[in-house]
Amino acid sequence: MEKLRVLIPKGRIFDNVSRLFAEAGFPVAMADRTYRPTVGADWLDIKIMKPQNVAELLELGSHDAGFTGLDWILESGADVENVLDLGFDRVSIVAAAPLELGDDALKEKKLVVATEYVRLAENWLKQQDYRYRILRTYGATEVFPPDDADMIVDNTSSGRTLKDNGLRIVSTLLESSTCFAASKTAMADDKKRSLIEELAMLFQAVLNGRERVMLEMNLPKQGFEAIVASLPAMRSPTVAPLYGESGYAVKIAVKKSEIPGLIPRLKKLGAGDIVEYDLRKVVP
């Protein structure tokens, strides 16, 4: 069987993606000084690459699927299919300038703009009618101003590094997170498309499971219909009669964010023996 060739980025994305694979049922093991991790599925072939290169390699067709940020997909301009936004490693792509340079001052001069995001920066600068020269960087972009650049276009998760370097956010160009993307060539192949879609389904099930917990409880007969009608659930609660017809056992899958308010309310309504436990995967 021909293997599905998958790219995983180096760095922080690797940790989140390898955990996602493991929870989906395919543990990934990374040996030192290797770019070919082992994976618990003989139909998968994984290679480690920089996130900046993933989308273009998918477009070239040398690999079938991969993980990279939406920012790098748009920056590369690669023609790939974004199969699933995984929602982690969230960053904002921002334009930032020294605190002492106000908006009017930025418009009055020809700016030196330091960035790794040359395409995204140029598109935005043109839209805003700035005069500029792009200075391409290779990491640590925030150190360029004020001596070597008037503005930067860079990614930030909290904005703390920008503040620490005396920079203010002028504008947010893009919100980005890690995506599971595929080459158009692979998606045109029925077998590979099926494998990619199955992976995406398992990944989504894992992400759903992380957001929800299962609640089990016993409810009295009195007021049962009204209580059940008020319960949050993915579709409808699972209900079974208790031995001796003293009430009902109820199971619901609910969002973790709902739990702090829900359990006290259920207790007041007469629920007992409430048990909460984590879910591994949820497939609606």
Where is average pLDDT lowest: 48-57, 97-106, 172-181, 232-241?
232-241
pLDDT band for position 199 (50/70/90)? very high
- Chain-centre distance for alpha carbon 214: 23
DSSP H or E stretch at residue 201: helix 190-211
* Cα Rg, the chain, nearest whole Å: 25
DSSP symbol at 64 = S
Tell me the C-alpha distance between 97 and 13, whole Å: 28
Rounded Cα distance, 250 and 272, in Å:
10
Instruction: Give the mean model confidence (pLDDT) for residues 73-81.
Output: 97
- Give pLDDT tens digits for 208-238: 999 999 999 999 888 888 888 888 877 788 8
130-187 residue pLDDT tens: 999 999 999 889 999 999 999 999 999 988 999 999 999 999 999 999 999 999 999 9
Cβ-Cβ contacts under 8 Å for 182 (sequence gap 6 or more):
58, 64, 65, 66, 80, 81, 83, 196
Q: Return the SS3 of 158.
A: coil
Q: Which residues of 34-68 are buried (b: 16+ CB within 10 A; e: fewer)?
A: eeebebebeebbbbebebbbbbbbbbeeebbbbbb
* Structural domains of the chain, with CATH: 4-85+178-188 (3.40.190.10), 91-176 (3.40.190.10), 212-278 (3.30.70.120)
Angle at 200 between CA 15 and CA 36, to 5 degrees: 45
Instruction: Give the burial class of 108: count Cβ atoms within 10 A of its Cβ; 0-12 exposed, 13-18 middle, 19 or more buried.
Output: exposed
Only one residue has tokens 């998760």, namely 157
Rounded to 5°, angle at Cα 244 from 242 and 245? 60
pLDDT in tens, 250-269: 999 999 999 999 999 989 88
